Chain A
Amino acid sequence: RKEVEQDPGPFNVPEGATVAFNCTYSNSASQSFFWYRQDCRKEPKLLMSVYSSGNEDGRFTAQLNRASQYISLLIRDSKLSDSATYLCVVNPGWDTDKLIFGTGTRLQVFP
Chain B
Amino acid sequence: EPEVTQTPSHQVTQMGQEVILRCVPISNHLYFYWYRQILGQKVEFLVSFYNNEISEKSEIFDDQFSVERPDGSNFTLKIRSTKLEDSAMYFCASRGSAATFGSGTRLTVV
Q: Which residues of A contact B (CB under 8 A)?
A: 34, 41-46, 49, 87, 96-104
Interface of A, secondary structure class, is: loop
Main SS class of interface, B: strand
* CB pairs A–B below 8 angstroms (15 shown): A34-B98, A41-B106, A43-B101, A43-B102, A44-B43, A44-B101, A97-B48, A97-B55, A97-B56, A98-B56, A99-B33, A99-B45, A101-B44, A102-B42, A103-B41
Residues of chain B touching chain A, judged by Cβ–Cβ distance below 8 Å, are 31, 33, 35, 41-45, 48, 55-56, 58, 89, 91, 95, 97-104, 106
Q: How far is the CA of A42 from the CA of B43 in the complex (A)?
A: 12
Complex interface: chain B residues within 8 A of A103 (CB): 41-42
A-B contact count (CB 8 A): 45
Q: Are B56 and A43 in contact (CB under 8 A)?
A: no
* Residue from B41, B55, B99, B104 within 8 A of A99 (CB atoms): B99
Smallest beta-carbon distance A16→chain B, Å:
29
Closest to B95 in A: A97
Shortest C-beta distance, A59 to chain B (Å), equals: 20
From A46, A49, A104, give the contact of B100 (CB < 8 A).
A46
Within 8 Å CB of B99, what residues of A?
A: 46, 99
CB-defined contacts of B104 to chain A, threshold 8 Å = 42-43
Given A99-B35, A100-B45, 18 further pairs, Cβ under 8 A: A41-B89, A43-B101, A43-B104, A44-B43, A44-B91, A46-B99, A46-B100, A49-B97, A49-B98, A87-B43, A97-B31, A97-B95, A99-B33, A99-B43, A99-B45, A99-B99, A101-B43, A101-B44
